[in-house]
Amino acid sequence: MKIMFMPDALATRVAELAQTIEADYREKDLLLIGILKGAVIFLADLIRHLSLPVEVDFMAVASYGAATKSSGVVRILKDLEVPLAGRHVLVVEDIVDTGLTLRYLLDLLWAREPASVRTCVLLDKRERRLVPVPVDYCGFVIPDVFVVGYGLDYAEKYRQLPYVAVLDGEEG
Ligand code: PRP
């Protein structure tokens, strides 16, 4: 594995993102939505830098498999517990790749009539995008390599690594 972002680089960037978010949502009632499972570590670190009175909820989604992935339809494995009407929502994701998952989620969330929806993404694999999605708060733009760690997995492994690394033999 080749390390892409060491723990201190991640911590610095997460703190910076939190500072920007805090400035933008001052006086607002913010609901953070973490998308399981990958976003768990990022979300946990991010919220510990926020002194705003935030609420946290989670959604779990899965794509319908390779054959139908390009349709962008995702399966909701766990839905939110709170209603969104009138809320300021910030969706927290570990990575955006094709954008299909986030596009589907944003459409679904907007239909619940929140006051606003923004996105906060740690890693943006921008060159892989198939559909446009707004990334309002971006940790790092990364190239098209397979990354693991800091919440990101390969076959459910490596999520616990404190750094982000390129998985061996998975470059390009
Ligand atoms: C990852 C990531 C996004 C999605 C991005 O989740 O957390 O939800 O893939 O890909 P896309 O932009 O091409 O749609 P994954 O399916 O790996 O699930 P996980 O978070 O449980 O690891």
H, E, C per residue of the chain? CEEEECHHHHHHHHHHHHHHHHHHCCCCCEEEEEEECCCHHHHHHHHCCCCCCCEEEEEEEEECCHHHHCCCCEEEEECCCCCCCCCEEEEEEEEECCCHHHHHHHHHHHCCCCCEEEEEEEEECHHHCCCCCCCCEEEEECCCCCEEECCECECCECCCCCCEEECCCCCC
Q: What is the pLDDT of residues 9-22, one digit of tens each?
A: 999 999 999 999 99
Whether the CB of 100 sits within 6 Å of ligand 1: yes
Distance from Cα 113 to the centre of ligand 1, integer Å: 24
pTM summary value: 0.95
Of 14-23, 65-74, 139-148, 150-159, least confident by mean pLDDT is 65-74
Q: What is the pLDDT of residues 76-117, one digit of tens each?
A: 999 999 999 999 999 999 999 999 999 999 999 999 999 999
Q: Is the pLDDT of residue 166 over 80?
A: yes
Indicate which residue of 24, 45, 94, 97 is catalytic: 97
